[in-house]
Homo-oligomer: A and B are copies of this chain.
């Protein structure tokens, strides 16, 4: 993967190299001769969640070329869907060809130049990750910390901005490691606009270069040039996920997530469990953090749910490791039926996994 130097050298055109030598080829791996094992499971952790049948079906469609007009149209539809989901008119609305961490690195790498100051509001794993990424980019990283389970007030943020005078401010809206929903209202007015087109130095990554990506995604009005070969299947699936959202509408989707979260929170409290986020308005509707009571070993409970009920919930992460369980109700999985399933399973687990002393 890393360099051709690691590999025994050979011609791919046959069993004989250009100089006529023969090779001894290793046997095909036995484990690849077995069928792939993918059990069905209800994924109620902080992600991945189960995908809707519509999204999964898109995963089996035949490929198109990455610049075919039909694929460009699908990309346009994805852009429209992203703009709708995030309620933005930004010309930079596009999907990065990688996972969430890739998009975070793309955002920071495009905005920051060497030695520039970034202020990171850190109240969980995502602030930590952003700090790590920004440090590697050579930025001057200032961290404004907050205890796990709490959120930043507008006053906190204004103070941080005035004291540190950063060129960029980073804050996490849904801190899935603590279950906190950070309010964003008013923060935009405190900040500057983005600066990609005014950079003095080259963007350090070709793959994440937003000027190339914006061209490939048709954001700049110019003819699309070859940047990278887009992940066709992933874009199909994203398109169908966004189409599902457009069909449901944002309003109904938000209400559904709020209702499921409410039902879960009430149910957990009825089971005698304590929610980790004290302030009700700051509870993330997609990931709920629950305090592990002193007479339980957190992992015994998650293992029990997985083994006996085929349901995933997860433990804490970063500042909440060992302290909480995290229950996700995201997208397709955010239904009353799933809430009742996980509550019943938890009730069973709490009976079976209790220790008198821990």
Interface residues of A, Cβ cutoff 8 Å to B:
1-15, 17-19, 21, 23, 25-26, 28-29, 31-33, 36-41, 43, 45, 47-51, 56-66, 68, 70, 73-74, 76-77, 80-84, 86-88, 90, 92-103, 105-107, 110-111, 129, 132-133, 135-137, 168-171, 173-174, 181, 183-188, 191-194, 196, 202-207, 210, 226-234, 236-237, 239-240, 242-243, 245-247, 249-251, 254-255, 257-258, 261, 281, 285-286, 312, 314, 317
Contact = CB atoms under 8 A, between A and B. Distances in A.
A194 to B, nearest CB: 6
Contacts of A255: 14-15
Contacts of A102: 97-98, 102, 207, 228
Given A5-B169, A29-B81, A31-B76, 5 more contacts: A9-B185, A28-B250, A31-B77, A59-B233, A205-B205
Given A13-B181, A36-B74, A3 B43 contact: no
A286 B13 CA distance: 9
A142 to B, nearest CB: 17
Number of copies of chain A assembled together: 2
B133 A37 contact: no
B9 A186 contact: yes
Contacts of A236: 36, 38
A110 B6 CA distance: 15
B62 A99 contact: no
Across the A-B interface, give the 8 residue pairs with the lowest CB-CB distance, nearest first: A59-B59, A28-B246, A29-B80, A32-B246, A60-B60, A101-B228, A9-B184, A6-B90
A40 B317 CA distance: 44
Given A88-B6, A92-B6, A13 B185 contact: no
26 contacts: A1-B92, A5-B169, A5-B194, A6-B90, A9-B185, A25-B250, A26-B84, A26-B87, A28-B249, A29-B80, A31-B80, A32-B243, A38-B61, A38-B62, A38-B70, A40-B62, A48-B229, A50-B62, A97-B99, A100-B229, A101-B207, A105-B207, A132-B206, A136-B203, A136-B205, A233-B233
Interface of A is mostly: loop
A273 B94 CA distance: 42
Contacts of A32: 77, 80-81, 84, 239, 242-243, 246-247
A135 B82 CA distance: 32
B87 A187 contact: no
Contact of A240 (B14, B36, B202): B36
A247 B35 CA distance: 11
B234 A28 contact: no
A228 B62 contact: no
B1 A103 contact: yes
Contacts of A133: 206-207
Nearest to A90: B6
Which of A58, A64, A186 has the largest number of chain B CB atoms within 10 A?
A: A64
A234 B234 contact: yes
A135 B184 CA distance: 38
Given A45-B65, A97-B99, A77 B5 contact: no
A240 to B, nearest CB: 6
Contacts of A43: 63-65
Contacts of A191: 5
